[in-house]
Structure 1
């Protein structure tokens, strides 16, 4: 992909309001988008999230009832619910260090110093602050996911107009250590979605980007 092609894809992307329920994302493209979630960056590599792909039509209908009735929840081919860890415990950190040791071939002793840095950073925050930090990390994954979709000419719509507690109830997240923070519909726009043809309104680069 050239720089010009990337800019074109980002201009093409918009928060799709009307999805065509008869169009499906090809399986290879969908797997690539799932890869973009798995490979998303996070602070210290902790990955304080779970991504729930909701396929059950009845469940999606109930989730639509917790989404101000937004049709994207049911009409898009895919629906992904982004959930964040409600805390970041020493056990969570150990699980990550164990995985790091397994993948990179370092012993627990070699990673002991790094583990101490991560634990110290997390323990200086309150549980509420740790949850909020996890939510911010999860939005990084959302951004990567939407950008990846745009490069493949697949439409998305991030959904913050939802009742997170209602989603948590429908998805059975109570006691899981995870809570809903945002959702994203994925599929293909209808030919008559008027939002697709509206010029993208952004402030000028000079207003939002500075150099020091």
Structure 2
């Protein structure tokens, strides 16, 4: 057990936000399926899984994404795999939507009375507890859920020696327009939450990893 703990901490110390990858060094199909599976298995609030992952291997599409993605200028052309993480928009996240009905019936196999009770509870949560009362708030809440697989995929990659870079440096509207124009997303239902580049680093960072000390980030209430 102690050895496993050491391996996990070592993986987190290994992980960096890699700016440029070795373009000729590719992640194996088996390894990348493992990374995606970790993302798929990630938890979400109410179990709604309000996400979708688009793996962009088409280099022409990557070129189109360069202009609005200022934070991915080196990663887009060099990454072995490039993932755009999408979040469900408000129309899909309200009780009564086709998407929530699909999750309840086809994925969770809830009986009708249980589904009704869950959706009623979720409606109260939206209106009264988390103030998810407009389209933007609902989309932002879905984006918060996307950050669970977002982090898990990068951690899983680090644990098997694969590098990554989380990316928020992009014009959300322009990226969505490109994806919609290419028929990749229906922008009524899905929007871009974040991106991750995966691959193998071109060179080690000259800077050490830094974090605040434990006592600065943890308070114990005993």
Q: Residue 93 of structure 1 is aligned with which of 92, 100, 104? A: 100
Aligned to 1:119: 123
Alpha-carbon spacing, 1:175–1:26, altered in 2? closer, same or farther (3 Å): closer
The aligned residue for residue 76 of structure 1 is 79
The alignment partner of 2:156 has SS state of helix
- Cα 1:85–1:56 change in 2 (3 A) is same
1:40, 1:122 → 2: CA distance? 22
CA distance 1:123–1:177, shift in 2 (3 Å): farther
TM-score by length of 1: 0.90
Output the CA distance in 1 between the equivalents of 2:55 and 2:196. 10
Helix, strand or coil: the match of 1:109?
Answer: helix
Aligned match of 1:187 = 199
- After superposition, where does 1:3-152 map in structure 2 within 5 Å? 3-68=5-70, 70-87=73-90, 88-89=93-94, 90-91=96-97, 92-102=99-109, 106-124=110-128, 125-126=132-133, 127-152=135-160
The whole-number CA distance in structure 2 between the counterparts of 1:101 and 1:143 is 24
Q: Size of the alignment, in residue pairs?
A: 206
SS at match of 2:195: strand
- Of residues 167, 170, 173 in structure 2, which corresponds to 1:162? 170
Residue aligned with 1:2, SS: helix
Stretches of structure 1 lacking an aligned partner (at least 5 in a row): none
Which residue number corresponds to residue 214 of structure 2? 205
RMSD of aligned alpha carbons: 1.7
Deviations 1:149-179 (A, max 9, x none): 1111110001111111121011114544111
Aligned-residue offset at 1:93: 2.1
Whole-angstrom distance in 1 between the partners of 2:8 and 2:213: 18
Measured after TM superposition, the shift of residue 9 of structure 1 is: 0.5
Shift of 1:86: 1.6
Mark the CA change 1:181 to 1:206 in structure 2 (over 3 Å): closer, same or farther.
same
Distance in 2 (alpha carbons) for counterparts of 1:211 and 1:16: 34
TM-score (ref. length: structure 2): 0.86
**Helix, strand or coil at the partner of 2:112:** coil
Q: Once structures 1 and 2 are overlaid, which stretch shifts more, 54-63 or 109-118?
A: 109-118
Distance 1:74 1:85 in 2: 27
The unaligned stretches of length 5 or more in structure 2 are none
